[in-house]
């Protein structure tokens, strides 16, 4: 038996506190997003802490 990791997409609107290492910054209409594999995240600051909101791919 081999061990594997199954990745599932987080629900739109979910909040995550850290991102995978394969992310890149993409700016669309002046808004910065993190694009990680097939997921898109928009950073939101709460005080000095950053949270990432799962969003649909920007157009």
More confident residue, 10 or 34: 34
pTM of the model: 0.79
Number of neighbours of residue 31 by Cβ within 10 angstroms:
11
pLDDT digits (tens, 9 = 90+) for 48-59: 999 999 999 998
Task: Say if residue 8's pLDDT is above 80.
Answer: no
Task: Say if residue 2's pLDDT is above 70.
Answer: no
- In three-state secondary structure terms, 49 is strand
Q: Spell out the domain ranges in the chain.
A: 15-55
């Amino acid at each position: 038996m081999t061990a594997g990791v199954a990745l599932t997409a987080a629900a739109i609107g979910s909040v995550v506190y850290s991102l995978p290492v394969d992310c890149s910054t993409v700016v669309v209409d002046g808004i910065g997003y993190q694009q990680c594999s097939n997921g898109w995240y928009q950073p939101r600051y709460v005080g000095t802490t950053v949270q990432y909101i799962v969003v649909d791919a920007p157009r």
